[in-house]
C-alpha cells in the first residue's frame, strides 16, 4: 500500500481496527491538528506506536528530528520495523518496550488479530465486544519509565510526545516527572473520563495547558478522545 509518498505494510486479514487508525491519521488528520512537525529538529516520542502509521508521519515531515518509537506488542512491533525499513527512514529508533510507571517486567495483554489494542489491562477499556476473554493473550515484556529512558540516553529536550496506550496514559505520565519538565507539547488519546481528569491534574501541575480536544464521534458519553497540551511559556 502506498499513500502520501509512504509505503505501508499491514495484514489485510487483520481487524478493521488497523484501518480505522489509518483513516484517522491520514484522512481525518487526527492526533496531529496543531503539530507542525516540519519545524521539529530535536526529539519526538511516539509511545504506543503500534504498526508505525504515526511514526511514519513524524519521520517523514521532520527528517532533521530523532523519533523514538515504543511498541510492546510483538506482532505490531514486527510491522513497525517493516514499515520503517520499507521507507528507508534513518531518523527513527525503535523499542519493543512498554513505557510504564516503574521500570521492570510487566504483563502485557493483547489480541493477536487486533494489533491496535494491547494494554496491561485490556478489560479496563470496557469494550462491549470484548466478552470472550479466551482471545486475550498475555506475555511478559520489558517496561521502562520515560525518566529512566531519558537518563540512559541523555536526551536534553523533547518537542512532542504522542501517547496512545489503551488506558495506561496516567501510568506513563507518573513515570515521566523529569521528562515532562523538558517537553514542549503532548497529544494524548484518553480512554475514560476518569483518565481524562487525571491527565489534567498531572499536566496542570507540570505547567501544561490544553489547547485542543478532539472527541471521537463513536465514543459513548464523550469518554474517548485526543487532547493536545502545550507547556505554558
| Cα separation, 66 vs 85, whole angstroms | 16
- Return the closest-CA partner of residue 41 out of 130, 170, 158, 175: 158
Residues 6+ apart with CB under 8 A from 178: 146, 147, 150, 151
- Identify whether the C-beta of residue 225 lies closer than 8 Å to the C-beta of residue 190: yes
- Residue 3 is predicted with a pLDDT of 47
| pLDDT of 109 over the 90 cut | no
Average pLDDT over residues 183-210: 94
Residue 80 in grid coordinates: 513497525
| pLDDT of 116 over the 80 cut | no
- Residue 135 is predicted with a pLDDT of 75
- What three-state secondary structure class fits 69? strand
Average pLDDT over residues 138-167: 93
Q: What number of other Cβ atoms are within 10 A of residue 75's Cβ? A: 20
| Cα separation, 51 vs 77, whole angstroms | 6
| pLDDT of 153 over the 50 cut | yes
Average pLDDT over residues 5-31: 62
**Buried/exposed 153-166: b ≥16 CB within 10 Å, e otherwise:** eebeebbbbbbbbb
Query: In the CATH scheme, what architecture does the domain 2-231 have?
Result: 3-Layer(aba) Sandwich (3.40)
Using alpha carbons only, give the angle 25, 188, 80 rounded to the nearest 5 degrees.
Answer: 50
pLDDT digits (tens, 9 = 90+) for 43-90: 999 999 999 988 998 888 888 999 999 999 998 999 999 999 999 999
| Cα separation, 129 vs 114, whole angstroms | 13
Residue 42 in grid coordinates: 530535536
- Identify whether the C-beta of residue 135 lies closer than 8 Å to the C-beta of residue 111: yes
Amino acid at each position: 500500500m502506498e499513500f502520501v509518498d509512504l509505503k505501508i505494510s499491514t495484514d489485510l486479514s487483520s481487524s478493521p481496527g488497523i484501518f480505522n487508525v489509518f483513516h484517522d491519521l491520514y484522512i481525518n488528520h487526527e492526533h496531529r491538528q496543531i503539530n507542525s512537525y516540519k519545524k521539529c529538529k530535536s526529539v519526538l516520542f511516539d509511545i504506543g506506536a503500534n504498526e508505525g502509521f504515526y511514526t511514519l508521519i513524524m519521520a517523514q515531515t521532520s527528517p532533521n528530528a530523532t523519533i523514538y518509537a515504543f511498541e510492546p506488542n510483538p506482532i505490531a512491533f514486527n510491522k513497525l520495523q517493516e514499515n520503517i525499513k520499507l521507507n528507508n527512514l534513518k531518523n527513527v529508533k525503535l523499542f519493543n518496550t512498554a513505557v510504564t510507571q516503574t521500570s521492570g517486567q510487566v504483563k502485557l495483554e493483547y489480541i493477536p488479530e487486533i494489533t491496535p489494542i494491547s494494554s496491561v489491562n485490556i478489560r479496563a477499556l470496557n469494550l462491549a465486544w470484548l466478552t470472550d476473554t479466551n482471545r486475550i493473550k498475555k506475555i511478559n515484556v520489558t517496561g521502562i519509565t520515560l525518566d529512566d529512558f531519558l537518563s540512559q540516553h541523555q536526551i536534553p529536550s523533547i518537542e512532542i510526545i504522542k501517547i496512545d496506550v489503551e488506558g495506561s496514559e496516567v501510568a506513563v505520565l507518573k513515570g515521566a516527572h523529569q521528562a515532562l519538565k523538558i517537553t514542549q507539547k503532548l497529544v494524548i488519546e484518553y480512554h475514560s473520563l476518569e483518565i481524562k481528569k487525571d491527565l489534567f491534574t498531572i499536566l496542570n501541575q507540570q505547567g501544561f495547558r490544553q489547547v485542543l480536544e478532539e472527541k471521537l464521534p463513536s465514543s459513548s458519553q464523550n469518554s474517548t478522545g485526543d487532547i493536545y497540551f502545550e507547556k505554558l511559556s
